[in-house]
């Protein structure tokens, strides 16, 4: 009977042994950014344990010392204050909070995902002094699809699905967006998580310092195929990375706008895919939600709105939101009144190329100025009912017999 009770009491140890088989990947980083994030997590935990452990120990000690059977415990019902005790109770937590706040503030600013990494190498050429050379970051454009990840390498004009690679010790600059719903891009061994959102562009800088194959995930739920939205992040030496790029270049598949529209349709547990040639405007069109032919790009729409709008044509562009939400996911869309349509783009091909080229050259820098935002008293723009607008405007592919006028 005693043996059975003993085994029952220590049965929880078997569960603890089973957990040890799991690899704590967050605490086993393979890149400098992830290592600093690990250090911040460990230091923060240890600082909090300075309070938690004594409180837990004293809780058990007080309960044991002041138990009913202990007649030697001093009972002082009129005691209510001790300056020394109050000083200890308040000073230690205050110091910990100040230290923790300072570490967190400094760490989060140094590890800002938008902050570029500067990695340098020293070369020694035939007896000449060492020359320090800064490594150019590897540009990787990432699109979160349902339910897979698309990686575009503009430097090499190739792309892959659910598989990416990068050279060891070379900084990586990820530029991310999403096709339909918000997702979360996360390679625990490399860097922290960053959101990928439709109609927006986010940045993440990271680096692999050790070769290997690492697990990449979508860390936030995004629909039915979320559990299979994983990918392999491969860290290779330069020769291994060049070999992987060559494998993509040998693929007979190309990634143009039509192929992208097929690719973004919801699919689950997708095997890795390779594309040898990519439309150079594809990522910017994905960000601006205008991969479809004849659809106005969001950047053009906002530019026209900033210039004063274009009347009813600009108002009807909100239909694009319904179009993207239902049409892209292959589900039924609600129809109230006129058949759904969207206004076609007005920019010429040359203007679009200039717009996308300018957006690619633009460098996003974090706002560090703490000055409060201030606005100017601009005149309120008139609504659609206070101005005269043409009653006829362009539609994309109107159905036969559908009136073009509102």
Q: Give yes or no for a contact between 322 and 340, defined as CB atoms under 8 angstroms apart.
A: yes
Mean pLDDT by 10 residues, the chain (406 residues): 63 58 69 83 87 90 86 79 86 88 84 76 51 75 93 94 92 91 90 89 90 90 87 92 93 91 89 91 89 80 72 54 54 53 61 67 49 41 41 40 43
Paired sense of beta strands 148-153 and 138-145, if any: antiparallel
Give the tens place of pLDDT for each residue, 317-327: 555 544 555 55
Q: Report which of 195, 197, 190, 187 is spatially closest to residue 217, judged by C-alpha positions.
A: 187
Q: Give yes or no for a contact between 297 and 345, defined as CB atoms under 8 angstroms apart.
A: yes
Predicted local confidence at residue 294, as pLDDT:
74
pTM of the model: 0.69
- The size of the chain, in residues, is 406
Predicted local confidence at residue 143, as pLDDT:
95
Q: Report which of 241, 248, 231, 247 is spatially closest to residue 168, judged by C-alpha positions.
A: 241
CA distance 41 to 191: 13
Token pair, residue 32, equals 């400098």
With tokens 């709105």, the residue in question is: 305
Going by the DSSP 8-state scheme, the letter that residue 135 receives in this structure is P
Predicted local confidence at residue 349, as pLDDT:
65
Predicted local confidence at residue 204, as pLDDT:
92
Give the tens place of pLDDT for each residue, 340-369: 555 556 666 676 677 666 665 555 554 444
């Amino acid at each position: 009977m005693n043996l059975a009770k003993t085994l029952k009491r220590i049965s929880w140890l078997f569960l603890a042994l089973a957990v040890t088989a799991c690899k704590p990947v967050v605490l086993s980083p393979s890149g400098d950014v992830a290592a600093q994030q690990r250090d911040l997590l460990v230091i923060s935990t240890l600082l909090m344990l300075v309070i938690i452990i004594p409180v837990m120990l004293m809780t058990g000690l007080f309960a044991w010392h002041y138990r009913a059977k202990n007649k030697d415990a001093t009972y002082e019902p009129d005691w209510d204050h001790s300056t020394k005790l109050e000083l200890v109770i308040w000073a230690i937590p205050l110091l910990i909070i100040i230290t923790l706040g300072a570490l967190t503030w400094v760490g989060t600013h140094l590890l800002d995902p938008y902050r570029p990494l500067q990695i340098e190498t020293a070369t020694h050429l035939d007896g000449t002094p060492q020359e320090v050379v800064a490594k150019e970051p590897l540009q990787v454009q990432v699109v979160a699809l349902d339910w897979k990840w698309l990686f575009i390498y503009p430097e090499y004009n190739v792309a892959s699905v659910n598989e990416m690679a990068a050279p060891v010790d070379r900084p990586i600059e990820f530029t991310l967006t999403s096709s339909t719903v918000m997702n979360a891009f996360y390679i625990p061994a490399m860097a922290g998580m960053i959101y990928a959102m439709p109609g927006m562009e986010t940045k993440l800088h990271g680096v692999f310092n050790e070769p290997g194959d690492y697990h990449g995930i979508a860390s936030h739920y995004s629909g039915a195929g979320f559990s299979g939205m994983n990918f392999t992040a491969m860290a290779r030496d330069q020769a291994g990375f060049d070999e992987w790029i060559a494998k993509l270049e040998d693929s007979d598949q190309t990634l143009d706008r039509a192929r992208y529209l097929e690719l973004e349709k919801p699919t689950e547990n997708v095997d890795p895919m390779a594309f040898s040639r990519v439309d150079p405007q594809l990522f910017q069109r994905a960000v601006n939600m205008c991969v479809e032919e004849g659809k106005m790009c969001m950047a053009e729409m906002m530019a026209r709105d900033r210039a004063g709008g274009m009347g009813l044509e600009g108002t009807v562009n909100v239909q694009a939101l319904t179009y993207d939400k239902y049409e892209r996911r292959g589900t039924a869309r609600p129809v109230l009144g006129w058949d759904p349509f969207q206004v076609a783009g007005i920019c010429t091909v040359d203007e679009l190329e200039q717009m996308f080229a300018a957006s690619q050259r633009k460098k996003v820098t974090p706002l560090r100025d703490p000055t409060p935002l201030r606005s100017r008293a601009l005149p309120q723009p008139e609504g659609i009912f206070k101005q005269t607008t043409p009653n006829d405007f362009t539609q994309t592919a109107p159905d036969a017999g559908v009136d073009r006028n509102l």
